[in-house]
């Protein structure tokens, strides 16, 4: 007997999807520019990554339900319940996915934060806030920035491996909803609750204001 069609509900809002796919383009660009002596371009695109990450942090506090940190940041107990199949069914990140997403957002935030204070070896290209610190400090921060990138790479590799596992082994389509915003939900589970437009306006205004301020420091 064939299963009844599962209801399709909204899972991700536009801002969260745009954040994700811009990140997928810009992180490789940050890598390429860093590895190919394009430090000036690295810093310019870096300001764009700063805007993305700041927006996502604000959206995690005031965005639609599935984008909110409160909805997917879970402690060890929540994760264990999920692994034992005892967690409530919801749309959005499951507690384990939430852990990976939280780690990626935290490391990205640290990577961007360190980048703002970094500079190249020749002292020709500077992160916008690096003039606030002395040379030794900037050097240490730049080394940390270089090292942390490897941590970010590991997290991204795990993330892509997990998505492949869900797609190929579990036959669960996670990529579709990240593209279209909609997907299947278990019977009786509500879709995403969308944030009102004024919240988007506030998050964008703060992001654009902070980004313009940073740009003016270049």
Q: Which residues of the shown chain bind ligand HEM in the complex (CB under 6 A)?
A: 16, 19-20, 23-24, 27, 30-31, 34, 39, 42-43, 46-47, 49-50, 56, 67, 93, 97, 101, 104-105, 108, 111-112, 115-116, 118-120, 125, 127-128, 142, 145-146, 149, 152, 156, 159-160, 163, 174-175, 178
Of 19 and 82, nearer to ligand HEM (C-beta) is 19
For the CB of residue 189, give the shortest distance to ligand HEM in the complex, in Å.
14
What is the helix (H) or strand (E) element at residue 182, kind and residue range? Answer: strand 182-184
Which tokens is 61 given?
């506090």
For the CB of residue 36, give the shortest distance to ligand HEM in the complex, in Å.
9
Of 7 and 28, nearer to ligand HEM (C-beta) is 28
Question: CA-CA distance, 58 to 178, in Å (whole number)?
Answer: 19
The set of long-range contacts for 151-154, using a CB threshold of 8 Å and a minimum separation of 24, is 151/107, 152/27, 152/104, 152/107, 152/108, 152/111
Of 146 and 190, nearer to ligand HEM (C-beta) is 146
**Strands (E) located in the chain:** 8-10, 182-184
For the CB of residue 8, give the shortest distance to ligand HEM in the complex, in Å.
15
Residue 13 and residue 63 in contact, taking contact as beta carbons nearer than 8 Å: yes
For the CB of residue 43, give the shortest distance to ligand HEM in the complex, in Å.
5
Of 2 and 78, nearer to ligand HEM (C-beta) is 78
For the CB of residue 70, give the shortest distance to ligand HEM in the complex, in Å.
13
Of 16 and 207, nearer to ligand HEM (C-beta) is 16
Of 10 and 56, nearer to ligand HEM (C-beta) is 56
Nearest to 113 by CA among 23, 159, 49: 49
For the CB of residue 2, give the shortest distance to ligand HEM in the complex, in Å.
25
Which tokens is 121 given?
């070896």
What value, to the nearest 5°, has the Cα angle with vertex 81 and ends 79 and 84?
110
Per 3-state DSSP, the chain is made up of helix, strand and coil in percentages (nearest 5) of 65, 5, 30
């Amino acid at each position: 007997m064939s299963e009844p069609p599962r209801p399709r509900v909204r899972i991700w809002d536009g801002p969260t999807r745009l954040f994700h796919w811009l990140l997928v383009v810009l992180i490789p660009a940050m890598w390429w520019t860093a590895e190919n002596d394009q430090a000036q371009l690295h810093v310019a695109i870096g300001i764009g990554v700063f805007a993305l990450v700041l927006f996502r942090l604000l959206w995690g506090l005031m965005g639609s339900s599935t984008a909110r940190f409160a909805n997917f940041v879970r402690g060890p107990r929540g994760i264990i319940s999920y692994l034992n199949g005892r967690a409530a069914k919801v749309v959005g990140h499951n507690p384990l996915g939430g852990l990976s997403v939280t780690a990626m957002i935290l490391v990205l935030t640290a990577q961007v934060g360190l980048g703002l204070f970094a500079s190249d070896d020749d002292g020709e290209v500077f992160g916008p806030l690096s003039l606030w610190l002395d040379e030794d400090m900037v050097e240490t921060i730049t080394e940390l920035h270089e090292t942390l990138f490897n941590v970010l790479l590991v997290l991204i590799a795990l993330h892509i491996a997990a998505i492949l596992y869900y797609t190929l082994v579990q036959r669960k389509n996670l990529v579709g909803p990240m593209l279209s915003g909609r997907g299947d939900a278990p019977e009786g589970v509500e879709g995403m609750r969308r944030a009102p437009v004024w919240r988007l306006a506030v998050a964008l205004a703060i992001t654009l204001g902070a980004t313009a301020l940073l740009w003016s420091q270049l």
